[in-house]
Structure 1
Amino acid sequence: MLKHNKICISMLGVFATCAANYVHATESDKDMDNVERIAVTGSRLLSIEAASPSPVTVIGEDLIQASGATDIAELLNKLPSMAPGLSSSTSNYNGNAGMSTQDLRGQGAKRTLTLVNGRRHVGSIPGESTVDISSIPTGLIKRIEILTGGASSVYGADAVAGVINIITKTDYVGSKLNVSAGISSRSDGEKHGFNFLHGLNFNDDKGNATFYFSYDKEEEINAKDRPYTNSNWSYLPNPEHLALKEKLFAEGKTSQEVTDITDNDNIPNNLSARRYSITASPTTVVFIGGIAYTFNADGSMRPVKLGNSGELYRPENGLTGIQTDEGGEQLGAYEFQRLRVPVEKAMFNNTINYEFDSGYHFSLDSKYVKTESESRVFPNSLYGSVPLSRDNAFIRSDLGAKMDEYEMTYLPIARHFTEMGQQGTDYERDVLQIVASLQGTFANNWQWEFYAQYGKASSDNTTVNSYYEDRWRASLDSVRDENGNAVCRATIDASAAPIAGRDYSNCIPHDVFTPMSDELLNYVKLEHTSTESQTQKVAHFHASGDLFETWAGPIALSVGAEYRKESSETSPSQALRDGISASYAVEQPVVGEYDVKDVFLETNIPLLSDVFLASKLNLNLSVRSAHYSEAGQNTSWNVGTVWQPIDDVTLRISRSRSARAPNINEQFTTEGEGFEWLYQPCSQNRIKSASAQVVENCKKLGVNVFTNEIGETTSDIRWYQPGTIVSSGNQDLDVETANTLTAGLVFTPTAIDNLELTFDYWDIKLSGLIDNFNVATVVDSCVEQSSLDNQFCALLTRQPDGIITHVNLKTLNLNQRRTSGLDIIANYKFDMLGGTFAINTIVQRLIRRDIQTDPTLELEPTVGLFAHPEWKATVNLSYENEQFRVGTATRYVGEQRYRENYTASYVNPHETPSMFYTDLTASYNISETMRLNVGANNVFDKKTPQMPNAYSGGANYYLGTDGGLFDTLGRTYFASFNWEF
């Protein structure tokens, strides 16, 4: 069995931390027993006597087993340096259900480079280089090394925020079986799995073959099964605030004066409360004459059963905005939300190593991963966007009389069609990775390696419980024929066909006031499959060794070259290509490829050694020149130094320039259209507080702007309107660049054994960020300019009344981002009670996170906003002896606001509370070959904070929760059994 003090180790000046029990060592720890020296991430140099000038976190094998994690993302996401990425708790809504990605320092997963044994891994999201880290076999992992800072000069593009390097077992002898299971305290979300590892030597131990197989399955967890998420939260106007506004207007105050007063008083403008949209109903809802009506199973009409107060809220916002409180018959958003998606995964890995008599070393590593997952959201719904005409075949006399009373020729309707089932996608993914390597030596101390690798990730994505948009619309528009039978209008009138020229003779008329029939369901429902694939080919050579000896030690050098080709193909279903699926969404195939040719050099130069105020002073230099077939030439570099003035203190600093090349999706995505509820900057809600320039521009655009009865400027446009987003890639993109500074101090007092304090400052400045204009930025910027003849208005298409119907977006090198922070690490361990007690604390303070959503505007500060708290920390305690180990990990997440302007005077509550989570683990050595691990996460069953409408950082918009940052599942238990034989 591995001893626990091998879990986390490091060289001089490199901090090593783990998520539940950390041990830290530097080169000055000469007297520490069982210290294993490792080649740290961030260098290809053969000699690692000189420490990395950038901080490195190391997580070891024993810790991974003790944590109960079957997906290593579960462990990595608890590190303060990680921002929320994809996981089974955050991937239900983004088209990548069941994937796990890492977002180091909040720069985006595409700017974190994931390596396996120092080599690239095929991207798991077609068209991108982002790796699904859950496709890497957990039971094979020896350790995980995490480097903060730009490393493109060493490892190539995408190492902008840093590198995650996963080191696996490649030369194992023996057999090992691990069986694991887990469940929540509410008896759901079951997890179970096993992995088996077997290795043997052959041909007089010259060769080794290592085989690995694993299977894991975890069930979904639904929001409706948690008391803290089975509610709908909304921000509503505070009645006290509205009364004050009305009073001020009555006194003759202007809109600006009223805003200045009410934004600085002690009365919150808005309050959070549980509210349910009356449109969220399994039966049809209409709104006539200030009253909401629904219909019985026989089609008869009755008022909607409202919430406990019996009141309607926001009736002025139209059908989609009308709400009631809890206690009514409406469905909550939580009815259809998942806190965790189901995932089923099988992996096979085979590694063969052989040492030839000539000194050459050959290895072949092959891996295959099969994953199945699914996402589920709302059933097909109507929110008033497809109104019924007065002559609809199923408008009965009582409803018709009401329409006539209010002179209505069309009737907006709303309903969740639960009979159709929840819409979603079933995913079947395959990952294949093969690496062949040949290594050798020359000139005594020089080593070289050549490897070639091939990787392919493919996915079949089947959309389920969807519908044909044209059939859906045709079935809704029904009339009576000459015999009095209900028929689709398009059946008898070709001009009414939703798509001209299509045959609707088999159309089934839809009575929206009664449950859907099986015949109708068979006619409108649609299931269709799209396919995706991503292929990576790499050929790499490097050589490392010492040039010559100097007064301070040998100069180490590494040189090499690499060729990489990335290709991707996305093939939408025929329904998507033809634009006949839900919302008439149109997608076309995306086919693209690019290659990159790199040459690189790295050297470590010892400047001083064992002299006054310089026990060690080293200079590390690296440079890489890369030529991208599409983006052109780019050079990355790094300059760093490590200075140890005395044995107790080590200082390090590095300055680097890194790059991220545009991926295939960003370059080659063909023009596509998608339905979207488009935000309207001239709407009645927005224009109330708009500037005079915005009001004047809205009038010029044809919007009916007027003053209401209480003196507010308003319009007759609703806040959101149905529309279309048109997006496309751009083959003229340049690379993103990042200038990064890291500076740190490591204090290891010789007077106190095994104590280490680390302080690391990091600063990342990104330029030329590849992005689309944000839709809200485009529509707002159009009317905020002095003239409507601007680049933003040119991207919009409007109706004569000023309503935006289309937004055209194209990928560009647009924006900047500046992020900086401070990491404070404290490690201490000491012997007691026949074992070892260890304490580890990691604190991250996010000093700066300024983002730019519009290149014409200044950067905006976002520290403390949702998903990016100012403070995050972990405190880990453990005790271990030869028989057992117990540990606790406490995680802190600081308070956060939804938006910058969400102050106490604007909304109550205006921020989430700070949260503490505690996990417990225990391990017992049954024998020398058997070990039992048990544990509980979120021991105190802390409920997740909720913030209405939150969506950033993995948050669920409908629930206002963030499964990437907070624990949304509640208390969970796990156990595993390890047998080595």
Structure 2
Amino acid sequence: MRTTSRARLLASALFVVPALWTSPASAQNTADATPQTTSPATADAAAAEEEADAIVVTGSRITSPAATAASPLQIVDSRQIANAGAVNIQDVLLQNPTFGTPSISRTNSSFATSSAGVATVDLRNLGVDRTLVLVNGRRFVSGIPGSNAVDLNVIPTQFLERVDVLTGGASALYGSDAVAGVVNFIYKKDFDGIQADAQTGITDRGDGFDYQANLLVGKNFADGRGNIMAFGGYSKQGAIYKRKHPTEAGPSDVDQTSLGGLTGNDADLFKPERPFLSGYSPRGRYYTDNFAFTYDPVTGALRPCTSTNGGPAPDDCGLPAGTQIGPDGFNRSAFRYLAVPVERYVAALRGNFEVSDALNLFVEGNYARTQVKTEIEPFPLDSSYITPEAGGQIPIESLVNGVLYRNPFVPDAIYADASDTDGDGLKDIFFDKRLSDFGPRTSTAKRDTFRIAGGANGKFWDDWSYEAYGIYGQTVEHQKGSGQFNSLNFQQALNAIRDVNDIDGDGDRTEIICADAAARAAGCVPANIYGPGSLTPAVGYLAAPQTLDTKVTETVAGANVSGGLFSLFGNRDKVSIALGGEYRRETSSSVFDPLSQAGLNGGNALPSTKGKFDLVEGFGEVIAPILEDRPFFHRLSLRGAVRVSHYSTVGGTFSYNYGGEWAPIEDVRFRVMQARSVRAPNVSELFAPPQQDFPSGLQDPCTGITAATTGTLADLCRAAPGVNANIAANGAFTVTQADRQGITSFAGGNPNLQEEKGDSFTAGVVINPRSLGGALRNLVLTVDYFDIKIRDAIVQTPLQFILDQCYSGANQALCQFITRRPAAQGANSAGSIDEVNSGPTNSGGVRTSGLDTTVNWRTDLWGGNFGLRASYTHLFKGYSVPLPGSDRDYFAGEIGAAKDRFTTTVSFDQEHGIGGTLTGTFIGASYLDDQLTGAKPGANKLYRVGAEFYLDGQIRFNVGERYQLYVGVNNLLDNKAPFLADIGASAGQDTDAGTYDALGRRYYAGARLRF
């Protein structure tokens, strides 16, 4: 028979609930860090037995029957996962208040240029790269090029026994990136049988149809000395459309479909007053130095509208006074996804064979293919994209062989009113136009992730154990995009003439051709930009398909040994140590198509990034029981760990932790831990060339400045010629919505970065009144204080910080990172911000502190099993310091980092009957980013977003011992997400879709079978 010495259980800091198909009525719970189904007293006695179970605790490398976790540790078990009805494990984890808003998810990545649909987690709001994700205690390859963030799409939910969430620094135990903590996914083991399940669901609005089917097969063999499990699963989550899901303070369903998003003024941010549509319409607007011309949306006739030189306008385009965009604007929301569609194929394998007590061979394999599609509205083209070196002027005349030709597409009214604004002897204009002829901007991405891990472990010298392992993983992505244009081809196509002199020699003197001979030879097709649908004949020549190919690899080899040395003061448990070493090599590359790299297709300039690094490291850990079974000292132990690493990039690093536990009685245990963690810079932070982004929500400090305004701010603003031109035209410096949306930013890597250092302190108490017996025996209460400080933090200096510091005069060196549009841009946009650039440095500091409280209880009730689980987190502090000596940038209390969050789950199950679960999730009142509002969170209620409470429910029907049917509803109360305008919302949305549930009520139903 298989010996119990080989059973390695990963202990929780709370209690372990049996697997889903364990009979609810017979389910046993154990206390903190005691996963056996026996009581702790029995476990202690069993420790003296030769065949005692070896316990590996998440948060320690030491194998010990009496192991506990000194750092706060929370568990998401298989029962909780199953009862959530989630397709992706990310959705389950985000209910836990220790997690902040993820940087990437289905609901906040529709505008992403890469990695759309990836599922990440972010502990303590400290960033995904400061959260280390493990599988069975070992590293997993990243799903994002240049980053260490793991894509949870590749984790097979039904393959999980549970997820251990260790909060607080853990670099000494697990290496770099564990500054905020560790999320350890624990696979099932010793599974024998077949388990199949299927589920489907849809939103209350009729979109987001999803379905999944999964099969898990396992078999014990060789008299229980071996086991093999295989899993295969398929899931598809359909697109969810912004137009069908209005926000809490947003428009009605009709408005959302026909009019798009809303906007409000600064005095009433969350009570929108009128529809806001984009001014970039398919009809286009054409600017001479006197007027802007457009095509009437009703008659189709060309007409002049707003003045461009400060003179009287003929009719102001028929718009109400004081508005910029009227009912003929473009509805962007009709195109946008609120949640991108994701299709997944997932396979997993786990096996082991015990040759002897000294040699157990194991293997793990993962493969996942994820397919994601994004779609947003057609491109809003501005002529400055085509001729940026000329300030956006488009010539409407051409000089060929000494002959002056007029562009035949230009309407007479525009041609007559245009003039030579740049002194080259040719008339020119500006224009903007929605490229509806090109269709929406789309991307389709296929990501393939493969990982294999294998090795050996065993026992020797009675209570010593070892493990040696190797891991290889890679993620490969291929992405294709459409809807963009080739700016070089566009420039040539706009230089069109009527070939009255037959300069191309084909005998046709009536045709319209491209003026440049080289362009004609390359297949140039003349482009007509005037009016809706006019570009269709030239789309084949103008369109610029996009591609992106990425590859991330990770190679790991490691070994460790642990065991007991001796006992102190006659204690039963020995002083235990663990020693080990690891080698790791990571590579990453992202290669965009040539036009994307140069920013010549209307999108962001996205140069390729390639880089690699490797490291070797060694670690040691010790746990020393000091006192046991004494008055007021049921158990007292001390512990510590160190890790020394050497990176090919940053050189040597050092991390450590030390702490202890004191249980004055069996039912109460106090714990404290101090840790130094490190995070080495990743490939993107080190090696990425300057990449382009289009930030939202930036506020121009010069807004409202007049010629008579005095002070440092006014003087610095008027130093830009474009600002003066804007003031002269408008009376005060004015910024339009189009100007705000047109701001770009470039940020690249920094090869001189060093590691960042995090110091975390945690102290708490675990109460499990097992000695009282009865129902209270299974009650576990934990309260933990945490304080994390990060020094030399790798930060991108915030763009709003750069603007504010520059124009306040506090740090004028930052002004070099700001570029404003020239005076020649025209009165509407002159002097507005064109670029605000940044980059990573070790100049930041981050701090967060707070209190975690958990309650777990399960008891027999009414012929079934009743369970209660609650997690609450309160933030005391949370801020970053962009530069030494600068003001704090607060995030505690802001959207995505509410000061108060809790999740409570109540469940009831009968072994052969009905069961149900209700889960309530509370997000406390939050505030807009203080960098955008200038007000510290809580200081100005104008920027306050009310609290949200979400309720999810599931009803289960247990049919015999093998079958289960279930139905569920998420967001049972159909809460709508708060409206956040252009300030505080996810890119392209009206709310922070990564924090709030913007999808509304959703239904699902499924079935499970095991035999």
TM category (shorter chain) comes to 0.7 to 0.9
Moved more, 636-645 or 408-417: 408-417
CA shift, 1:276, in A, is: 1.8
Judge conservation of contact 2:134–2:183 (CA < 8 Å) in 1.
yes
Residues 872-919 of structure 1: CA deviation (Å, up to 9, x unaligned): 111222222213321101111112222334779999853222111110
Residues 300-354 of structure 1: CA deviation (Å, up to 9, x unaligned): 225899xxx9744656xxxxxx234xxx232333222211101111112223322
Q: Secondary structure at the match of 2:166?
A: strand
- Is 1:439 the counterpart of 2:438? The answer is no
Residues 133-178 of structure 1: CA deviation (Å, up to 9, x unaligned): 1201111111110001000000000001000000112432211111
Structure 1 stretches lacking a partner, 5+ long = 1-8, 239-267, 316-321
CA shift, 1:127, in A, is: 1.5
- Is 1:26 the counterpart of 2:25? The answer is no
Residues 926-973 of structure 1: CA deviation (Å, up to 9, x unaligned): 12111112211011111111111134xxx4243331222211111111
Residue of structure 2 equivalent to 1:89? 107
Q: 1:972 aligns with which of 986, 997, 1002?
A: 1002
Moved more, 607-616 or 213-222: 607-616
Alignment of 1:914-929 (within 5 A): 914-929=947-962
TM-score by length of 2: 0.83
- Is 1:813 the counterpart of 2:852? The answer is no
Residues 580-603 of structure 1: CA deviation (Å, up to 9, x unaligned): 4225x5444322111111110111
Residue of structure 1 equivalent to 2:387? none
Residue of structure 1 equivalent to 2:616? 597
Q: 2:596 aligns with which of 569, 576, 580?
A: 576
- Structure 1 CA distance, aligned partners of 2:428 and 2:729? 30
Residue of structure 2 equivalent to 1:962? 992
Residues 814-857 of structure 1: CA deviation (Å, up to 9, x unaligned): 21111111112233444331123233332211111111233441
Q: Secondary structure at the match of 2:926?
A: coil
CA shift, 1:978, in A, is: 1.1
Residues 33-91 of structure 1: CA deviation (Å, up to 9, x unaligned): 79999643111110151421111111111221221112100100111111111221122
- Is 1:660 the counterpart of 2:660? The answer is no
- Is 1:349 the counterpart of 2:369? The answer is no
- Is 1:419 the counterpart of 2:437? The answer is yes
Alignment of 1:360-371 (within 5 A): 360-371=359-370
CA shift, 1:486, in A, is: 7.3
User: What is the one-letter code of the residue matched to 2:111?
Assistant: Y
Residue of structure 2 equivalent to 1:247? none
- Structure 1 CA distance, aligned partners of 2:269 and 2:549? 48
- The structure-2 alpha-carbon separation of the partners of 1:716 and 1:430, relative to structure 1 and needing over 3 Å to count, comes to closer
Alignment of 1:72-87 (within 5 A): 72-85=89-102, 86-87=104-105
Q: Secondary structure at the match of 1:127?
A: coil
Judge conservation of contact 1:17–1:58 (CA < 8 Å) in 2.
no
- The structure-2 alpha-carbon separation of the partners of 1:198 and 1:784, relative to structure 1 and needing over 3 Å to count, comes to same
User: What is the one-letter code of the residue matched to 1:41?
Assistant: T
Q: Secondary structure at the match of 1:331?
A: coil
- The structure-2 alpha-carbon separation of the partners of 1:205 and 1:862, relative to structure 1 and needing over 3 Å to count, comes to closer
- The structure-2 alpha-carbon separation of the partners of 1:313 and 1:962, relative to structure 1 and needing over 3 Å to count, comes to farther
- Structure 1 CA distance, aligned partners of 2:77 and 2:741? 52
Residue of structure 1 equivalent to 2:409? 394
Higher relative contact order (CA 8 A, sep 6+): 1
Moved more, 163-172 or 96-105: 163-172
Q: 2:907 aligns with which of 857, 867, 878?
A: 878
Judge conservation of contact 1:950–1:957 (CA < 8 Å) in 2.
no
Alignment of 1:54-203 (within 5 A): 54-85=71-102, 86-94=104-112, 95-203=114-222
Alignment of 1:284-295 (within 5 A): 284-285=284-285, 293-295=294-296
Judge conservation of contact 2:57–2:67 (CA < 8 Å) in 1.
no
Residue of structure 2 equivalent to 1:4? none
- Structure 1 CA distance, aligned partners of 2:334 and 2:741? 25
Q: Secondary structure at the match of 2:516?
A: helix
- The structure-2 alpha-carbon separation of the partners of 1:234 and 1:685, relative to structure 1 and needing over 3 Å to count, comes to farther
- Is 1:767 the counterpart of 2:768? The answer is no
TM-score by length of 1: 0.86
Judge conservation of contact 2:874–2:899 (CA < 8 Å) in 1.
yes
Moved more, 373-382 or 747-756: 747-756
Q: How many residues align?
A: 921
- Structure 2 CA distance, aligned partners of 1:598 and 1:313? 68
Judge conservation of contact 1:851–1:861 (CA < 8 Å) in 2.
yes
Judge conservation of contact 2:31–2:778 (CA < 8 Å) in 1.
no
Judge conservation of contact 1:476–1:512 (CA < 8 Å) in 2.
no
- Structure 2 CA distance, aligned partners of 1:943 and 1:561? 50
Q: 2:580 aligns with which of 560, 566, 572?
A: 560
Q: 1:793 aligns with which of 815, 822, 825?
A: 815
- Is 1:849 the counterpart of 2:868? The answer is no
Residue of structure 2 equivalent to 1:938? 971
- Is 1:897 the counterpart of 2:931? The answer is no
CA shift, 1:811, in A, is: 2.6
CA shift, 1:725, in A, is: 4.2
Alignment of 1:679-828 (within 5 A): 681=700, 683-685=702-704, 692-702=711-721, 705=724, 714=733, 720=740, 725-749=745-769, 750-751=771-772, 752-785=776-809, 788=812, 790=813, 792-796=814-818, 809-828=838-857
Residue of structure 2 equivalent to 1:275? 275
Q: Secondary structure at the match of 2:716?
A: helix
Structure 2 stretches lacking a partner, 5+ long = 1-8, 44-52, 251-255, 307-316, 385-391, 398-406, 502-508, 824-830
Judge conservation of contact 1:77–1:964 (CA < 8 Å) in 2.
no
- The structure-2 alpha-carbon separation of the partners of 1:645 and 1:357, relative to structure 1 and needing over 3 Å to count, comes to closer
- The structure-2 alpha-carbon separation of the partners of 1:301 and 1:168, relative to structure 1 and needing over 3 Å to count, comes to same
Judge conservation of contact 1:777–1:854 (CA < 8 Å) in 2.
no
Alignment of 1:185-584 (within 5 A): 185-228=204-247, 230=256, 231-236=260-265, 272-277=272-277, 279-285=279-285, 293-295=294-296, 300-301=301-302, 311-312=319-320, 322-324=324-326, 328-357=327-356, 359-383=358-382, 385=384, 386=392, 389=395, 392-399=407-414, 411-482=429-500, 487=512, 490-491=515-516, 506-516=524-534, 518-550=536-568, 551-552=570-571, 553-577=573-597, 579-583=599-603
- The structure-2 alpha-carbon separation of the partners of 1:17 and 1:735, relative to structure 1 and needing over 3 Å to count, comes to farther
Moved more, 219-228 or 481-490: 481-490
CA shift, 1:425, in A, is: 1.9
- The structure-2 alpha-carbon separation of the partners of 1:358 and 1:833, relative to structure 1 and needing over 3 Å to count, comes to closer
Judge conservation of contact 1:122–1:535 (CA < 8 Å) in 2.
yes
- Structure 2 CA distance, aligned partners of 1:682 and 1:122? 43
CA shift, 1:297, in A, is: 9.3
Judge conservation of contact 1:579–1:586 (CA < 8 Å) in 2.
yes
Judge conservation of contact 1:269–1:905 (CA < 8 Å) in 2.
no
- Structure 2 CA distance, aligned partners of 1:303 and 1:840? 66
User: What is the one-letter code of the residue matched to 2:31?
Assistant: T
Judge conservation of contact 2:13–2:75 (CA < 8 Å) in 1.
no
- The structure-2 alpha-carbon separation of the partners of 1:373 and 1:711, relative to structure 1 and needing over 3 Å to count, comes to closer
- Structure 1 CA distance, aligned partners of 2:924 and 2:95? 14
Residue of structure 1 equivalent to 2:62? 45
Q: Secondary structure at the match of 1:942?
A: coil
- Structure 2 CA distance, aligned partners of 1:705 and 1:77? 49
Q: Secondary structure at the match of 1:866?
A: coil
Judge conservation of contact 2:620–2:643 (CA < 8 Å) in 1.
yes
